[in-house]
Amino acid sequence: MKVSIRNLEKKLSMILPLAESYQRSYNKLSADYKSEQEMALYTKGYFIKKLWKMAEDKQSLVAVLHINDVPKGFIRYSAIPEYYTQPINNLAQDTEKGYLDGFEFAWCRKINFERDIALNNKTLIVNQIYLDPQIQHHGLGTLLFQQTVPELKKQGFESLIIEYNANNVNAKNFYRKLGFEPFAKTKDFDHILKTDGRTQFCISDVHIAHTSIDNTLEHLRRRQQLKQTFVTVLDQRKHGKTY
Ligand SMILES: CC(C)(COP(=O)(O)OP(=O)(O)OC[C@H]1O[C@@H](n2cnc3c(N)ncnc32)[C@H](O)[C@@H]1OP(=O)(O)O)[C@@H](O)C(=O)NCCC(=O)NCCS
């Protein structure tokens, strides 16, 4: 199996297969806690548009994982929203405005800090990390961090934050193994649905975790060491050496 990591390119031969993996990953994850009606909005076209926009966005960094030259997952980093850096009495807030599902909306997004964490222009947010369900839990998410975080350090970044749905226990455990610790809570305004003439707002609970880049590099180094020790012990057993 050939594993490679490449930049996201604005070409259909990369975006179409990646959108399929993204859709499978997102839908498998969200089906447990989102309504059928909301899930119906997450079409292949929705993910193609999202990836296309990401490929056009020169401010973020996207690394795409390929298995045997087929895109199967990705990680995306961006600058944090400025209001995150200016909490007052442990609360940072800003009004998001725009169009959603055919409605014009305004939403005051509040970040409730549960402990003091200094966020600044050396902090990046991991906006997304998604792997096709077929390849999850084989160390490839960790590999995406291993291959990208040293480059972020070289570029002068010092810390990372990540936001995840409060129900996503696998992601929470995955991030914890990379040194991330939860420090704040917020809510995302995901969709507006019209059901039987009633308007329904889809809002999800989100947790936010933080780590310094050095801490993540140290966690990655320890994981790598553990893996090597395990492989060495297996190898010695295979050759008849026991302890
Ligand atoms: C979260 C994700 C990126 C992790 O990548 P991965 O390659 O699956 O994870 P790794 O194999 O590198 O790391 C494994 C650790 O992550 C957690 N984990 C990941 N997938 C898991 C699963 N299916 N079941 C249980 N634990 C899982 C475990 O803590 C695991 O540690 P363990 O091997 O000691 O049990 C990937 O599983 C994924 O794409 N999930 C769906 C999308 C998602 O939740 N994205 C994050 C949104 S915020």
Phi, psi of 224 (to 5 degrees): -65, -40
Tokens of 108: 């005051």
pLDDT, position 242: 52
CA angle, residues 159, 107, 202, in degrees to nearest 5: 95
Distance 226 CA to ligand 1 centre (A): 18
Contacts for 179 with CB less than 8 Å, ≥ 6 apart: 211, 212, 215, 216, 218, 219
pLDDT digits (tens, 9 = 90+) for 185-198: 999 999 999 888 88
Most informative mutation of 136, 145, 176, 180 for ligand 1 (most atoms within 8 A of CB): 136
Token pair in block for residue 77? 């980093």
Residues with CB under 6 A from ligand 1: 25, 29, 129-131, 136-142, 164, 168, 170-171, 173-174, 177
Give the pLDDT band of residue 5 (cuts 50, 70, 90): very high
212-222 pLDDT tens trace: 999 999 999 99
Query: Model confidence over 43-60: pLDDT tens digits?
Result: 999 999 999 999 999 999
HSE of 201 in the Cβ direction (CA atoms, 13 Å)? 10
Q: How far apart are CA 51 and CA 57, in angstroms?
A: 10
Say how far apart CA 186 and CA 169 lie, in whole Å: 17
Residue ranges of domains in the chain, CATH in brackets: 73-238 (3.40.630.30)
Distance between CA atoms of 1 and 236, rounded to whole angstroms?
25
**DSSP classification of residue 86:** -
Gap between the Cα atoms of 217 and 178, Å rounded: 8
Nearest residue to 76 via CA among 154, 4, 155, 7: 7
Q: Do strands 123-131 and 159-165 pair parallel, antiparallel, or not at all (unpaired)?
A: parallel
Q: What's the predicted TM-score (pTM) here?
A: 0.93
Q: Which atom of ligand 1 is nearest to the CA of 142?
A: 12
